[in-house]
Amino acid sequence: MRWPMKLLLNVLTPPVALAGRFYNWGQRYRELLRYRLEFRPRPEDIFIATYPKSGTTWMQMLLVQLFSGGLAEFDHISQKSPYFESVLRQGRFDFLEKLPSPRLFKTHMTYGALRPSKDSRIIFVTRDAHDTFISCYHHLEMAQRFRSSFDPFIGGMVKGKCSFGSWYDYMRSWMPHRTDANVLWVRYEDMRQDLGAQARRVAAFLGIPVPEERMADILEKCSFAYMKRHDPKFDFRLTMHEDSPGNFIRQGGSGERRQFREEHTAELERNLAKLRGDLGLGEAERF
C-alpha cells in the first residue's frame, strides 16, 4: 500500500470506528426501549440465554425437537425460535404476537437488560471460554469478513474486548442467577458428553412430557452430523437472504485451546480464577 493511502486509512479509521460504536449503542438502546415499552410478555415464554457461540443454536434445536417429539420440520430455525433482539430491532411485534405458546426465544442480552419475569423460564447455556472465543473468531470472520488476524483478536477477547460485549461481563450478569427457580444452567461440554442426559434434564425442567420411544429421533436430529447436513436451516445469514459462503455449523468441538498463545492462555486463566472467586463458584461448578 502506498504511503498516502496508509496515511488516509490511519486518519479515517478512528472516527469511522467511533461512529460504528455509536451506531451499535444506538441499536442496543432502541432494542431495549422497544423491549420495555412494546413487548408483551407471556407467562409461558422461554428464553435460551447465551453469550454468542456457546451452543445457542444447538439448544434451540433441542427445545424445538423436545416439544415436537422429534418431528419438527422447518425451513429455518428462526421460524420456530426467533432471535429476540433481532425481532425487537425490526419492530416485528405482529410476528411475536402470532407465535404459538410457549415462545422459544434466543437471546444474548445480559441478565440486567433482560430482567426476565419470574414466570418466564430460562435455559442458560455456557461453554468453555477458550472454545467460545475461537468460535467467535471464526463466526466474525465468516459473517463480516473482517481482517483481524487470530492472535490480536484472541488477545482482545481475553481482555474482554469484543463487538459481542465482554464475556466476563456476561458471565458476571448471569452466573449469580444460575440457581434461580426459573433458570436452568446447561453446559455445552455436558451436552457433548451425554446429550440424552441433558435433554431429559431440560425436558423435566420445562415439564415437557417426552415419551421415551421418541428420544432416539430427538437425539438424532440434534446430533452434530444431522445439523451439519442441514446447515442452511441454521445459518443466520440466510434469514437475511444473503449468500452463505461458509459453514455456520463449523466443527462443534471442545478443547481447541492449544491454538492460543501462551501469554493469552496465562492471562485468561488469571481472569477466570478471579471471576470464579468473585462469583463464589464451588469446586464442582465449572464454566
Provide, rounded to whole angstroms, the least separation between the CB of residue 230 and ligand A3P. 10
Question: What whole-number distance in Å separates Cα of residue 244 and Cα of residue 236?
Answer: 9
Which region, left, alpha or beta, applies to residue 55 given φ > 0 means left and ψ of -120 to 50 means alpha?
left
- The CB-nearest residue to ligand A3P is 252
Nearer to ligand A3P, 78 or 135 (CB): 135
Q: Which of residues 90-119 bind ligand A3P (CB under 6 A)?
A: none
Q: Which of 104, 162, 227, 238 binds ligand A3P (CB under 6 A)?
A: 227
Q: Which of 222, 238, 268, 272 binds ligand A3P (CB under 6 A)?
A: 222
Provide, rounded to whole angstroms, the least separation between the CB of residue 181 and ligand A3P. 25
Site pattern 37..76 for ligand A3P (x: CB under 6 A):
-------------x-xxxxxxx------------------
Residue 183 β-bridge partners: 122
Nearer to ligand A3P, 242 or 278 (CB): 242
Provide, rounded to whole angstroms, the least separation between the CB of residue 2 and ligand A3P. 38
Can you give the binding site for ligand A3P, defined by CB under 6 A? 50, 52-58, 131, 135, 138, 222-224, 227, 249-253
